[in-house]
Amino acid sequence: MIKVEHLNKSFGDLHVLKDVNLELAPGKCNMIIGASGSGKTVLLKNLIGLLAPDSGDIWYGGHRLSEMDYDAKKSLRQKIGVLFQGCALFDFETVIGNVIFPMNFFTDWPEEKKRERARFCLDRVNVKDADDKYPSELSGGMQKRVGIARAIALNPDFLFCDEPNSGLDPYTSSLIDRLIHGITEEFNITTVINTHDMNSMLEIGDSIHFICGGTVMWSGDRHSILRTECAELRDFVGANVLARHVISESVSSR
Amino acid sequence: MIRRFLEATGSYCLFLRQVFRRPEKWRIFWRQFVLETDKLILSSIVIVGVISVFIGGVLVIQTASNMSNPMLDRMLVGYMVRETLVLEFCSTVVALILAGKMGSNIASEIGSMRISGQIDAMDMMGVNSAGFLVLPKVMSATFLSPLLMLLSFALGIFGGWCVVEMTEIIPPAKYLAGLKYSYNGFYLFYSGFKMALFCFLISSISSFNGYCATGGSMGVGASSTRSIVVTSILILLFDLIVTQLMLY
């Protein structure tokens, strides 16, 4: 389980994360939601160790992230898969090369086995006949899928996704959501998704944390979010037409 | 300003410590080394070769036209061309050219990877991104650049010989005799050492600037420009220091 305790992070005078506390449920899709600029990405970067907090702790199981040395962090990172907002596929590698990349470093598998594993991951995310293409030749949705395939290549325990739906049409967005949810259940991964997409949240959010002004204002699941008393969350969720409709139905049925 | 300089120097030293960590897999390192050699060294042969041939030819004409005194042996033209090439042109001037070509290539490549999140992705996998991306570049540039210096020297001499043959500005036999006159093999070592040092500075500083790039495509452009300016100044500074230490 991942646990965050009293996390603070500032950039100069800008206090982005203020005493953040949360627990991320193992083997579930944990959604971190909030408006743009609320501190979601900064929180995610702290969680995966790309940024160091000013104070507070992040626990992976019984291990405190800030106390891990270089080698411990390195071995933890091999258990973490990350899907970045812009996918961050390596433009010097082909699609299959991108998925094989982490295997080259952390396995001693023969070339054939690596290709087999890469093919399995690409098949799992429905990427076919694109092995030898370069990332620049792929559509946004395809890049996300390849990003997911690369993230699960080493069979991680944790999967972090930063805005997996950004820039995608609603249909592709929904496919990516279901893909991430399916992978989470199939491989029993603890998944953490940063999003402000209400459809995603309502579709796959097993556990939801709402960030506003740098603090976690609400935690719950996708059923309870529609009946929340938290005014900021109601405003945030209500900004989406579909969600507003669902909320009003929920209120009127009470 | 002093504080910024000290901070940048400290960050550069920490960056080098990360670069020179033991590679995760030597097989991957050697594969990258070969790729970088192709990209940085082999692709520079044409520009270094063309410039060297022309500079060699120009040096012959300029030296000959400034030695009209009949008391001076025409053989000295060949001697002076050789010394100019080996002492300064083949290492310092070629390094300044490479600072533009190689430095901007490295800084923009690594800078683009930084702003598109590719370096973060590598770090997140547990890969030492600085070691993977930078170490092969630094090793290739440092250890193989003396070969570029030798090539530049040979082609400079050849360029001078072509001019001598075509214009007969001095008798060709005199030119060849001047090339052999008072030969000091240490100068080749000195020049090769300078070239290796300069290319270490070019590759490491450009990589550092690219690695620390921020702010999108403008940031990449700025890091590329900064790399060229900083390495050019440092090349001239270290040229002075090394020359004082090794020749005086």
Domain locations along chain B: 32-247
Residue B26: closest C-alpha in chain A: A105
Show residues of chain A in contact with B127, CB under 8 Å.
102, 105
Encode pLDDT of B131-170 as tens digits: 999 999 999 999 999 999 999 999 999 999 999 999 988 9
The answer to whether B117 contacts A85, with C-beta atoms less than 8 Å apart, is yes
Find which of B114, B118, B125 to mutate to test the A interface (most A CBs within 10 Å of its CB).
B125
Yes or no: say if A150 and A72 are a contact pair by the CB < 8 Å rule: no
The C-alpha torsion from A85 through A90 and A93 to A95, rounded to 10°, is: -10
Find the mean pLDDT for residues B67-84: 90
Mean pLDDT score across all residues of chain B: 94
The share of chain B scoring above pLDDT 70, in percent, equals 100
Q: Check residue A250 and give its pLDDT.
A: 61
Task: Report the alpha-carbon distance of residue A196 to residue A193 in Å, rounded.
Answer: 10
- Number of Cβ within a 10 Å radius of residue B185: 7
Handedness of CA B199, B202, B205, B207 (dihedral sign): negative
DSSP of chain B: -HHHHHHHHHHHHHHHHHHTSPPS-HHHHHHHHHHHIIIIIGGGHHHHHHHHHHHHHHHHHHHHHT---TTS-THHHHHHHHHHIIIIIIIIIHHHHHHHHHHHHHHHHHHHHHHTTHHHHHHHHT--HHHHHHHHHHHHHHHHHHHHHHHHHHHHHHHHHHHHHHH-SS-HHHHHHHHHTT--HHHHHHHHHHHHHHHHHHHHHHHHHHHT--SHHHHHHHHHHHHHHHHHHHHHHHHHHHHHHHH-
Q: Check residue A71 and give its pLDDT.
A: 83
Show residues of chain B in contact with A76, CB under 8 Å.
126
Q: Where are the beta strands (DSSP E) in chain B?
A: none
The answer to whether A105 contacts B120, with C-beta atoms less than 8 Å apart, is no
Question: Does residue A78 sit at the B interface (CB-CB below 8 Å)?
Answer: yes
> Measured between alpha carbons, how far apart are the two ends of chain B, in Å?
33
> If pLDDT is split at 50, 70 and 90, which confidence band does B124 have?
confident
Question: Does residue A226 sit at the B interface (CB-CB below 8 Å)?
Answer: no
Task: Name the token pair of B108.
Answer: 């923009």
Nearest-5° angle of CA A233, CA A235, CA A238? 105
Which of the pair, B230 or A251, is modelled with greater confidence?
B230
Close Cβ partners of A105 (under 8 Å, ≥ 6 residues apart): B24, B25, B28, B125, B126, B127
The share of chain A scoring above pLDDT 90, in percent, equals 37
Q: Check residue A223 and give its pLDDT.
A: 82
Show residues of chain B in contact with A166, CB under 8 Å.
none
Q: How many CB pairs under 8 A join A and B?
A: 52
Encode pLDDT of A201-251 as tens digits: 888 888 999 998 889 999 988 888 878 888 888 888 776 655 566 666 665
The distance between the two most distant Cα atoms of chain B, rounded to a whole number of Å, is 72
Give pTM, 2 decimals: 0.86
CA distance A251 to chain B (A): 43
Question: ipTM above 0.85?
Answer: no
Yes or no: say if A29 and A39 are a contact pair by the CB < 8 Å rule: no
Task: Report the alpha-carbon distance of residue B58 to residue B56 in Å, rounded.
Answer: 6
Amino acid residing at A44: L
> If pLDDT is split at 50, 70 and 90, which confidence band does B180 have?
very high
Domain extents in chain A: 2-79+156-253
Task: Report the alpha-carbon distance of residue A77 to residue A50 in Å, rounded.
Answer: 11
Task: Report the alpha-carbon distance of residue A108 to residue A117 in Å, rounded.
Answer: 13
The answer to whether B120 contacts A88, with C-beta atoms less than 8 Å apart, is yes
> If pLDDT is split at 50, 70 and 90, which confidence band does B108 have?
very high
Yes or no: say if A19 and A8 are a contact pair by the CB < 8 Å rule: yes
Question: Does residue A84 sit at the B interface (CB-CB below 8 Å)?
Answer: yes
Q: For A199-208, A242-251, B176-185, B239-248, which range has the lowest pLDDT when averaged over its residues? A: A242-251
Q: Check residue A196 and give its pLDDT.
A: 83
How far does CA B105 lie from the centroid of its chain?
13
Q: Which residues pair with A17 in a beta bridge?
A: A9
The answer to whether A88 contacts B127, with C-beta atoms less than 8 Å apart, is no
Yes or no: say if A233 and A220 are a contact pair by the CB < 8 Å rule: no
Show residues of chain B in contact with A154, CB under 8 Å.
125
The answer to whether B126 contacts A105, with C-beta atoms less than 8 Å apart, is yes
DSSP of A224-250: GGGG---HHHHHHHHTSHHHHHHHHHH
Q: Characterise A11 by phi-psi region: left (phi > 0), alpha (psi -120 to 50), beta (else).
A: beta
Task: Report the alpha-carbon distance of residue A176 to residue A144 in Å, rounded.
Answer: 8
Residue B132: closest C-alpha in chain A: A105
Which of the pair, B201 or A199, is modelled with greater confidence?
B201
Task: Report the alpha-carbon distance of residue A204 to residue B218 in Å, rounded.
Answer: 38
Show residues of chain B in contact with A102, CB under 8 Å.
125, 127
**Fold that domain A2-79+156-253 belongs to in CATH:** Rossmann fold (3.40.50)
Yes or no: say if A32 and A43 are a contact pair by the CB < 8 Å rule: yes
Task: Name the token pair of A48.
Answer: 């995966």
Encode pLDDT of A60-99 as tens digits: 888 898 888 888 888 888 889 999 888 899 999 999 999 9
Nearest-5° angle of CA B19, CA B25, CA B31? 85
Find the mean pLDDT for residues B208-234: 93
Task: Report the alpha-carbon distance of residue A213 to residue B120 in Å, rounded.
Answer: 26
Task: Report the alpha-carbon distance of residue B119 to residue B23 in Å, rounded.
Answer: 16
